[in-house]
Amino acid sequence: MESKKLQDLGTNSTANETTKTLLALRGIPGSGKTSLAKAISVTNGAPIFSIDSYFENEAGEYHFDYQKNHLAYKDCEAKTKQALELGIPFVIVDNTFTLDWELEPYVSLAKEFGYKIFIVTVENRHGGNNVHQIPEEQIEKMKAKYQVFL
């Protein structure tokens, strides 16, 4: 009887519909956004776009330059748009997104290209440390201004 239920899931029209998805992972540095993005990507091959990748060299070393932060935001948005234009079925964006306005370009892109967008906040309940040498006082400021829309 159990296999019949599983077969029914396979013939359910809503289960068979292909839905293009944009997943925005947000959280403070060290929360595990990048680890989660990689774990999801391994299962479905989804590309991952992030502001952090702009500051990584080909060896994977991270060198943040605050003066280029605005360029990193634009680069991430442009790469995401390109993936959505191509119709890639599942796309992941991994950024802090502490303020609502930072998500707006991605919400607009999802609407423009017919994607469902899911915004997931990753909490640092595992005690992870940020790997980008962001000072603790800066992280505390980020926490204080973090906006969640429920």
Could you report the per-residue pLDDT of 123-143, keeping only the tens digit for each?
877 776 666 667 778 878 887
**pLDDT at 49 > cutoff 90:** yes
Ranges assigned E (strand) in 11-74? 21-26, 48-50
Asked if residue 84 lies in contact with residue 23, where contact means CB atoms within 8 angstroms, the answer is no
CB atoms within 10 A of CB 98: 18
What 106-109 contacts at long range (C-beta under 8 Å, 24+ apart), as own/partner pairs, is 106/22, 106/24, 106/77, 106/80, 109/22, 109/77, 109/80, 109/81, 109/84
**Whole-number Å distance between alpha carbons of 28 and 13:** 38
Give 145's pLDDT tier (boundaries 50, 70, 90): confident
Rounded to two decimals, the pTM is: 0.80
- Asked if residues 40 and 92 have their Cβ atoms less than 8 Å apart, the reply is yes
Q: What are the pLDDT digits (tens) for 9-40? A: 333 334 445 589 999 999 988 888 999 999 99
Q: Provide the pLDDT for residue 143.
A: 77
Whole-angstrom CA distances from 130 to 33, 72, 87, 94, 123 are 10, 18, 33, 14, 13
Is 87 or 127 the better-scoring residue by pLDDT? 87
Q: Which helix (H) or strand (E) holds 138?
A: helix 136-145
The partner residues of 109 in beta bridges, in order of sequence, read none
- Cα→Cα distances 71→42, 67, 111, Å: 28, 9, 24
Measured CA angle at 146 (ends 74, 37), to 5 deg: 60
